[in-house]
Structure 1
Amino acid sequence: MINKLRSIFPSLITYEKYPITSDDTYKWFITTTDELIGIKKRELTTKDDVLLNTFLQPYDSVFPVPTMDEQRWQTRITTEKPAKTRSTYRFIYFSIQKNQIDPHTFKNAINELFNKTVPVLWENEQEGIIIEEQSGSKDESMSYEQIIDVLMSDLYVKIKFFVGSFVRNHFEAPSYYQTLKQGSRVAFTYSAKAVVNYIDVIPYLFIEKADKPLRKSITQSVLRDVKDDEELLKTIETFIACNLNISVTAKELYMHRNSLQYRIDKFIDITGIDVRQFHQAVTVYLAILGLKAEQDN
């Protein structure tokens, strides 16, 4: 069908089905095989337009036109034999609050922050991935905490990032992409942090994979009589997140060290678990995550 249409409309171009702008000079359609095609409006008569709309789905979007680099990356993450890349790269999944910034403005802001054109692939108007490539050993990875600070201060945009690991193997791109998407859902569900690293999400993945009876059993056996004490559990969770450091935790919670120590001692007395010890703290942390998962469900 594409070849027949191209013989009638020489300007016809095709894309794999993913977000693309409705360029003013093109009319866009989705075929029955999920291909995205564009035809120059100057080649379409009113009759042509009506006819095409009867067997093709019109497509209109607000996304920037994909660059050649973005098209190559789209192919890499959607094919079993992706095109080769020599660079070390990582995917960063982002989630923007609805109606806060349009894709064009967001992409321009990202390009300015990186000081170069960066591939951005969109899932929808609020979510997608940034592809950060390192072509040499001197390249420095971006601080996504700093990016959020800039977007918040300059554009008043609330955004979350799930930062993947750097990889070299281009054949891993499709599975890496799918893993990142799944991990971002878990990360944004369990973590209140604006930037979540792939290492941070691993405990959440263990809890996510555990069945409901197991999570309930862990919660009951570890947290016991403190599982309903939200204030105490928040204190303990923060203590663990602050690497079991009393001073840092007290500062984080705006508490006096003595008050913090009292709560930690209270937890130890009730549960019999010394949360000051690393291995026992890990167990408690997983139990708290399990409790959160139960409450969310």
Structure 2
Amino acid sequence: MIQQLKRIFPSLILYNEHEYYPPDTYKWFITNNKDIIGIEEKELTIKENNILDTFLQPYSIQFPPPTSEEVEWRKIINGEKMQIKALPKTYRFVYFIFKHNQISPIKFKESMETLFYNSIPILWENENEGILIEEISNLTEEWVSYEQIIDVLMSDLYVKINFLVGPSMTSIDFASTHYKTLIDSARTTFTDTEKQVISFTEALPYLLIDQMEEPFQEELISLILKECRSDEDLLREILTFFQCNLNVSVAAKELHMHRNSLQYRLDKFFDKTGIDLREFHQAFTVYLTILVNMHREV
């Protein structure tokens, strides 16, 4: 169908093939195969538009007009030899995703600019997923807390959102590669974690797990967790212990347990596996294995 329409309407484009933001001079439709196509409005007569409305579903794409800075960043991401006029000393990419139809791209951008107190470049992958480009121009500036942003979005706009915060960068030489890596990493990570904000370094174990073959995952669980693999409460307590930087007192408070009770549970794991969770390398192995176990249950 698309090729036939293309012969009639040469301006026809597929939404997911379009390099930049969908132009506002296009009329958009969804085909029976769920492809989103656009045809330049000036190419459509009233009669043709009515016919298309009959057998195709009209579709509205509402992106904010790209700023000049966003256009320059998009060219860099696409591998073009461009230079931003006032390149920040440091920047980082921050992946975000929220559920379909929770908030429009225009409203989301307005909210971000309010929270950042100025314009922030946003490169959209689709209507609910994209990359924020956070910039720092001097040493006195600080990175934004995305935990706080989530609280504001949830309380004011009732929007549930996830962020994967990339590492700070000082050169655009590898910006294109890093952009694609961050998006792929985030899509993998958020299938395995319920955390709403995660850093790129925190995401690495999930990326390693995704590369593991299933037989190796099973062997790892059997060798490391042994009979504890089925004790969900114990594994949850150990994971909390790790997330609290191996601090028993803090973890016990987080779990609403007495410190001695948690210590007894950790000692129980040692008795059954011979692994000392206070030793970093052993603790990391157990942490990774628990994540593998959780990954297999998803």
TM-score category by the smaller chain?
0.7 to 0.9
Tell me, yes or no, if the aligned pair for 1:21 and 1:60 is still in contact at 8 Å. no
Alignment-derived partner of residue 107 in structure 1: 109
For residue 92 of structure 2, the aligned residue among 78, 90, 93 is 90
Tell me, yes or no, if the aligned pair for 1:92 and 1:162 is still in contact at 8 Å. yes
Alignment-derived partner of residue 297 in structure 2: 295
Kindly state the Cα deviation for residue 150 of structure 1 after the two structures are TM-superposed. Answer: 0.8
Alignment-derived partner of residue 11 in structure 2: none
Alignment-derived partner of residue 194 in structure 1: 196
Alignment-derived partner of residue 219 in structure 1: 221
Kindly state the Cα deviation for residue 28 of structure 1 after the two structures are TM-superposed. Answer: 4.9
Structure 1 residue 74 corresponds to structure 2 residue 81? no
Kindly state the Cα deviation for residue 230 of structure 1 after the two structures are TM-superposed. Answer: 0.6
Partners of 1:175 and 1:213 in 2: CA distance:
31
For residue 204 of structure 1, the aligned residue among 189, 199, 206 is 206
For residue 172 of structure 1, the aligned residue among 171, 174, 178 is 174
Aligned residues: 270
Alignment-derived partner of residue 163 in structure 2: 161
Partners of 1:45 and 1:224 in 2: CA distance:
67
Alignment-derived partner of residue 149 in structure 1: 151
Partners of 2:201 and 2:82 in 1: CA distance:
26
Alignment-derived partner of residue 9 in structure 1: none
Kindly state the Cα deviation for residue 281 of structure 1 after the two structures are TM-superposed. Answer: 0.6
Matched position secondary structure for 1:189: coil
Tell me, yes or no, if the aligned pair for 1:119 and 1:131 is still in contact at 8 Å. yes
Kindly state the Cα deviation for residue 217 of structure 1 after the two structures are TM-superposed. Answer: 1.1
For residue 271 of structure 2, the aligned residue among 269, 272, 276 is 269
Partners of 1:79 and 1:127 in 2: CA distance:
21
Alignment-derived partner of residue 287 in structure 2: 285
* Larger mean Cα displacement after TM superposition, 260-269 or 74-83: 74-83
Alignment-derived partner of residue 133 in structure 2: 131
Tell me, yes or no, if the aligned pair for 1:118 and 1:132 is still in contact at 8 Å. yes
Kindly state the Cα deviation for residue 21 of structure 1 after the two structures are TM-superposed. Answer: 6.2
Kindly state the Cα deviation for residue 139 of structure 1 after the two structures are TM-superposed. Answer: 2.1
Q: For residues 261 and 104 of structure 1, do their structure 2 counterparts lie closer, same or farther at Cα, with a shift above 3 Å needed? A: same
Tell me, yes or no, if the aligned pair for 1:19 and 1:63 is still in contact at 8 Å. yes
Q: For residues 166 and 83 of structure 1, do their structure 2 counterparts lie closer, same or farther at Cα, with a shift above 3 Å needed? A: same
Tell me, yes or no, if the aligned pair for 1:21 and 1:61 is still in contact at 8 Å. no
For each residue in 1:35-86, what CA deviation from the matched residue of structure 2 results, as whole angstroms up to 9, or x when unmatched?
x9996x6x66727976xx8xxxx98412111111111111111125343563
Partners of 2:115 and 2:175 in 1: CA distance:
25
Matched position secondary structure for 2:230: coil
Q: For residues 116 and 38 of structure 1, do their structure 2 counterparts lie closer, same or farther at Cα, with a shift above 3 Å needed? A: farther
Runs (4+) of structure 1 exceeding 4 A deviation are: 36-39, 47-50
Kindly state the Cα deviation for residue 270 of structure 1 after the two structures are TM-superposed. Answer: 0.9
Alignment-derived partner of residue 33 in structure 2: none
Q: Structure 1 unaligned segments of length 5 or more: list them.
A: 1-14, 31-35
Alignment-derived partner of residue 46 in structure 1: 45
Matched position secondary structure for 2:92: strand
Structure 1 residue 230 corresponds to structure 2 residue 229? no
CA RMSD of aligned residues (A): 2.9
Partners of 2:293 and 2:247 in 1: CA distance:
23
For each residue in 1:180-199, what CA deviation from the matched residue of structure 2 results, as whole angstroms up to 9, or x when unmatched?
01110222122221110011
Tell me, yes or no, if the aligned pair for 1:82 and 1:171 is still in contact at 8 Å. no
Kindly state the Cα deviation for residue 97 of structure 1 after the two structures are TM-superposed. Answer: 2.3
Partners of 1:247 and 1:20 in 2: CA distance:
53
TM-score (norm 1): 0.82
Q: For residues 246 and 49 of structure 1, do their structure 2 counterparts lie closer, same or farther at Cα, with a shift above 3 Å needed? A: same
Partners of 1:18 and 1:162 in 2: CA distance:
23
Tell me, yes or no, if the aligned pair for 1:81 and 1:171 is still in contact at 8 Å. no
Partners of 1:70 and 1:141 in 2: CA distance:
20
Give the letter aligned to residue 45 of structure 2. T
Structure 1 residue 240 corresponds to structure 2 residue 239? no
